[in-house]
Amino acid sequence: MKLKVEQLARTLSSSSYNLYWLAGDEPLLLQESADSIRLHYRNAGFIEREIFNVERGFKWENFTQSAGNLSLFAEKKTFELRLASSKLDESGKQAIQEFVEEDNPDNVLLISSPKLEAGVMNTKWFKAIEPKSAIVQIWPINKDGLANWLSQRLLREGINADGAALQVLSDKVEGNLLAAMQEIEKLKLLANSEEGAAINLDAKTVMQVIADSSRYNVYNLVDAALVGDANRCQKILASLQEEGIFPLLVLNAITRELRLLLPMIEKRQQEQGVNAIMQSHHVWFNRKQAVGGAIQRLHAADIWRLLNHARLIDQAIKGMSSANPWDEISRLSLDLGGQQTASMQHVG
């Protein structure tokens, strides 16, 4: 069953599926949707949870064996498959289909992936699993819908914003919802209202609050990396580290950009025009120079190499290796901008 993201909460309360597939390239909405599913099933007694990161070379038998093992205490369990690509090999398709057909009420599978292409959704295999699955397509919020989304999020936080204020904020975040949530948190902190009191914002107040915060953020870093501005990358990273920003937030922003770049680069390699590609992928005007340059400079193989480096950094952040996460993020951002260093050859 195909769902819109806003239908997920109602579906969780009224229906039961043993497969939920979240597909899209908007990390905030993906994360929030996944969290709502996890919370729902945790409250329903699904205490155990096992996560599989599916990348090239993933051994599907590990997932199949785990899903087929009955717990000694018959615990209800949630499995998560985090797909690097929504296009699966035959082993992956078979493993997921077997899970769905098993229909074990004590097991639930949560899949998260980049957006599902029509070619995948029209396959015989996908149509076979769809009736027993909740397929949630998560689309980026376009420029026209951003002000309404911001208004709703602000109201949740007790903030009323007029139309002009919403326009200023929309221009500031350029469609990046993670950046939008950062700005909302900043507005809450800097508006200096009494606890419990409603905050009313006009354009002047928003501009003043934004101007009062001269800190760099992770999205400045991404754009600096895309244009190959090595000096600015290092200054921003030093500032983020000084502020005590958790490195995983920085890594997530870079990884998100890499996944967004991949399909655009693949189209460029198929000799499609760069401007047409950016238009079809709704690249914001202020980012076209940075993104366009990256599309022309990088190849799909470069993105996969960078994503593999990001995976190793993720392990370092989680204490699974002795590498310094900030040093590795620095190397990753330089590599993204075409600034290879000798030390990069020895990462991992």
Residues 240 and 319 in one domain: yes
Going by C-beta distance under 8 Å and a sequence separation of 6 or more, which residues neighbour residue 74? 106
CATH number at residue 261: 1.20.272.10
Structure-block tokens of residue 226: 């895309």
- Indicate if 15 and 132 belong to the same structural domain: yes
In a shared domain, residues 10 and 90: yes
Residue 348 belongs to a domain: no
Last residue of a domain, one of 212, 233, 262: 212
Does 236 lie in the same domain as 323?
yes
Kindly state whether residues 276 and 293 are assigned to the same domain.
yes
- 173-181 average pLDDT score: 79
DSSP string, 225-253: HHTT-HHHHHHHHHHHHHHT--HHHHHHH
From 14-23, 127-136, 183-192, 198-207, the region with the lowest mean pLDDT:
183-192
Query: Same domain for 149 and 222?
Result: no
Q: Is residue 347 in some structural domain?
A: no
From 212, 246, 266, the end of a domain falls on 212
CATH code for the domain in which residue 179 is found:
1.10.8.60
- Residues 234 and 326 reside in one and the same domain: yes
The whole-number pLDDT of residue 45 equals: 92
User: What gap in Å lies between CA 69 and CA 11, rounded to an integer?
Assistant: 28
- Please state, rounded to an integer, the average pLDDT across all residues of the chain: 86
Confidence class of residue 212 from pLDDT cuts 50, 70 and 90?
very low
Phi and psi, residue 48, nearest 5°: -75, 150
| Rg, C-alpha atoms of the chain | 22
Q: What is the DSSP letter of 337?
A: T
Residues 133 and 16 in one domain: yes
Query: Tell me, what's the pLDDT at 124?
Result: 94
Q: Which amino acid is located at 218 in the chain? A: V
What's 110's domain CATH number?
Answer: 3.40.50.300
Look at residue 344 and tell me if it is in a domain.
Answer: no
Residue 227 placed within a domain: yes
The two structure tokens encoding residue 60: 């599907």
pLDDT band (50, 70, 90) for residue 90: very high
Tokens 């949560």 sit at which residue? 110
> What is the predicted pLDDT for the residue at 254?
93
Closest by Cα among 23, 22, 26, 33 to 114: 23
8 Å CB contact between 117 and 23: no
In a domain, 275, yes or no: yes
* Percent of the chain whose pLDDT exceeds 70: 90
- Burial level of 55, CB count in 10 A (0-12/13-18/19+)? middle
Distance between CA atoms of residues 53 and 75, nearest Å:
22
Is position 254 within any domain? yes
SS3 133: strand
- Give the C-alpha separation, 24 to 21, whole Å: 10
200 and 305 assigned to the same domain: no
Beta bridge partners of 200: 160
**Cβ of 117: how many Cβ atoms within 10 Å?**
12
Residues 174 and 197 in one domain: yes
Boundary of a domain, candidates 194, 212, 230 = 212
In one-letter notation, the amino acid at residue 57 is G
Structural contact between residues 46 and 77, judged by C-beta atoms closer than 8 angstroms: yes
In this predicted structure, what is the pLDDT of residue 183? 81
The range of the structural domain enclosing residue 170 comes to 143-212
Inside any domain, residue 345: no
Give the pairing type, strands 159-161 and 133-138: unpaired
Q: What are phi and psi of 321, to 5 degrees?
A: -150, 165
Residue 131 and residue 15 share a domain: yes
In a domain, 311, yes or no: yes
Instruction: Give the residue with greater pLDDT, 15 vs 109.
Output: 109
Alpha-carbon distances of 127 from 78, 82, 119, rounded to whole Å: 23, 21, 11
pLDDT tens-digit profile of 28-83? 888 899 999 999 999 999 988 999 989 888 999 999 999 887 655 557 899 999 99
Determine the longest span between alpha carbons in the chain, in angstroms. 62
φ/ψ region of 185 (left if φ > 0, alpha if ψ in -120 to 50, else beta) reads alpha
Residue 12: per-residue pLDDT: 92
Domain count, the chain: 3
Kindly give, in sequence order, each residue whose CB lies less than 8 Å from that of residue 149, ignoring residues fewer than 6 positions away: 141, 177, 180
206 and 230 together in one domain? no
* pLDDT at residue number 72: 53
Q: Is the pLDDT of residue 299 over 90?
A: yes
Cα–Cα distance measured from residue 326 to residue 12, given in angstroms and rounded to the nearest whole number: 39
